[in-house]
Amino acid sequence: MKHLCFAVVIISLSLMAAANPLLCPELPSGAQIRPENRYFEVLPRIVPANRESVIEIVPLFDHARPSENCAYELTYAPMEYPKQQDGWEPGKKMAIVPENGRFRITTFFESEQEHTFIIESTCDDKKKTVGNFRVYSVEEDLYKLRPYKGDFHMHSHRSDGIESPAYVAGACRRAGLHFMALSDHRWHDGSMEAHRAYADAPIDLRIYPGEEVHTPDNPIHILSFGANEGITELYRDDETQYRAEVAALMESLPPTPPGVNRFHYAACVWAVKQIRDRNGMAMLCHPYWITRNRHNVEEPLLNLFFEREVFDALELISGFGWESLHAMDVNALQVARYLEERAKGRRIAVCGISDTHGHERSDAFGRYFTVCFAPSPDLPDLIAAIKDLRSVAVESPAGTLPRAYGPFRLVKFTQYLLREVLPQHDELCFEEGRLMIQYAAGDTTAAQRLKQLQGQTARLYDRYWTPVAK
């Protein structure tokens, strides 16, 4: 029996080794850039739905340039909806002639969906695929917005994390994030400290305030994102007022069902109000996280949170790495619960975060994040996006493809972005993050190089979203 187990282990290890080149991510975010997206520019990548647009596929290197001795064919396939406007039959091949060394395609982009353009070449009777190019068409409301990636539940050495706030901020940029917040336990100054560290460095990463709030005698972990003051300061030295206000809430709040700890409930309502009063967003952290062999939030209280929409957002995807996922897949429970509550018609804003405590040794950091669809990466726009259900939670445990959760329409678009847009963005961020870490280590010359890179990720988005002339 022992021998059999050994054989099974050997086989599965060799299968993993064989599969690794396909699965092994190239970037710290876990993203891989498809060869087509390295060899060619596809401009634009995002187009307005139900309109005619021009797409240019521009080879960037000699090995990708079209040759006069070859013939080219194009196959077009819209992912979901049939073509109704210009009679282009999905899947039918047609000849395409390169113009000035590039391919130009003018077509009507039906509805909100992904579109595939496959170009094949025939050179000396040899057929070859030039590339499989992807474009996404979106309705007006979504076309105006841009996807911003962020993580706002993370810890530094100011609470129980390992690295200093400035280091964490650099690591966040290196992993491809647009925005971040440190949410140290009972400590609001972590992000501010990171902010101060880069006060004289030109950086594009947005650093916003955060705090993991634990009000006295209340086991629920509450995340304050964006609040302009710390919540813990309200009771750190003197709990009298906190206790009086929670007691008053216990009197005034509507009746609660049996099994609900009314003090915990009132303490959460109190904390959410304090966070909102300071322009922050209150998120319920990891409800199904297991601590002392119990879920963090007792079921009757969790039911009430959903029924009464107590929080602004739910931590739908928590940053559990492989080890914790093997013990118990908490995220699977959180997702199942979210889907069931949504089916009841409840309104639930979602976030994904890493909850990382050591950024160099976490297999969750950079792989668990929130994508907000917002007009800008400014804090009020991001918070409004989350509250308006314009966000998705993303997880990509090491060795797996990223999965997005949230409203279907946004998940569908995010899947495209995670494959066709965000990897290129992550790669640009890598050097910026590396330079930020160098700067935080005391090398002020890194600031000049950061200055040269400033604006590059915004320009990438501009290229991908700006129509080319007809």
To the nearest whole angstrom, how small is the minimum distance from the Cβ of residue 153 to Zn ion?
A: 6
Give the span between the Cα atoms of 160 and 455, in whole angstroms.
Answer: 34
Residue nearer to Zn ion on the CB measure, 163 or 212: 212
Give the span between the Cα atoms of 371 and 146, in whole angstroms.
Answer: 10
Which H/E stretch holds residue 393?
strand 391-395
Residue nearer to Zn ion on the CB measure, 137 or 156: 156
Cα dihedral 42→48→49→50 (10° resolution): -110
To the nearest whole angstrom, how small is the minimum distance from the Cβ of residue 355 to Zn ion?
A: 4
Give the span between the Cα atoms of 172 and 434, in whole angstroms.
Answer: 10
Residue nearer to Zn ion on the CB measure, 181 or 429: 181
DSSP labels, 60-96: -SGGGS--TTEEEEEEEEESSSPP-SS-PPTT-EEE-
Residue nearer to Zn ion on the CB measure, 146 or 155: 155
Give the span between the Cα atoms of 462 and 470, in whole angstroms.
Answer: 18
Residue nearer to Zn ion on the CB measure, 187 or 373: 187
Q: Which residues pair with 77 in a beta bridge?
A: 116
Length of the chain: 470
Which H/E stretch holds residue 17?
helix 2-23
To the nearest whole angstrom, how small is the minimum distance from the Cβ of residue 351 to Zn ion?
A: 13
Q: Where are the alpha helices (DSSP H) in 119-239?
A: 140-143, 165-174, 189-197
b or e along 155-174 (b: 16 or more beta carbons within 10 Å of the residue's beta carbon)? bbbbbebbbbbbbbbbbbbb
Query: Of all residues in this chain, which one has the CB nearest to Zn ion in the complex?
Result: 221
To the nearest whole angstrom, how small is the minimum distance from the Cβ of residue 302 to Zn ion?
A: 15
- Interface ranges with Zn ion (CB under 5 A): 212, 221, 285, 355
To the nearest whole angstrom, how small is the minimum distance from the Cβ of residue 288 to Zn ion?
A: 12
The residue with tokens 């990438």 is 460
To the nearest whole angstrom, how small is the minimum distance from the Cβ of residue 61 to Zn ion?
A: 45
Dihedral sign (CA 447, 452, 453, 456): positive
To the nearest whole angstrom, how small is the minimum distance from the Cβ of residue 103 to Zn ion?
A: 49
To the nearest whole angstrom, how small is the minimum distance from the Cβ of residue 214 to Zn ion?
A: 8
To the nearest whole angstrom, how small is the minimum distance from the Cβ of residue 392 to Zn ion?
A: 21
Residue nearer to Zn ion on the CB measure, 221 or 367: 221
Residue nearer to Zn ion on the CB measure, 74 or 285: 285
Ranges assigned E (strand) in 318-364: 350-352
Dihedral sign (CA 60, 61, 63, 66): positive
Give the span between the Cα atoms of 248 and 446, in whole angstroms.
Answer: 54
To the nearest whole angstrom, how small is the minimum distance from the Cβ of residue 183 to Zn ion?
A: 6
To the nearest whole angstrom, how small is the minimum distance from the Cβ of residue 75 to Zn ion?
A: 48
Dihedral sign (CA 365, 369, 374, 379): negative
Residue nearer to Zn ion on the CB measure, 355 or 395: 355
Give the span between the Cα atoms of 346 and 284, in whole angstroms.
Answer: 15
Give the span between the Cα atoms of 430 and 427, in whole angstroms.
Answer: 5
Residue nearer to Zn ion on the CB measure, 49 or 330: 330
161 and 134 Cβ atoms separated by less than 8 Å: no
The token pair at 30 is: 């876990």
Residue nearer to Zn ion on the CB measure, 36 or 212: 212
If you ran DSSP here, which 8-state letter would residue 268 be given? H
Residue nearer to Zn ion on the CB measure, 249 or 285: 285
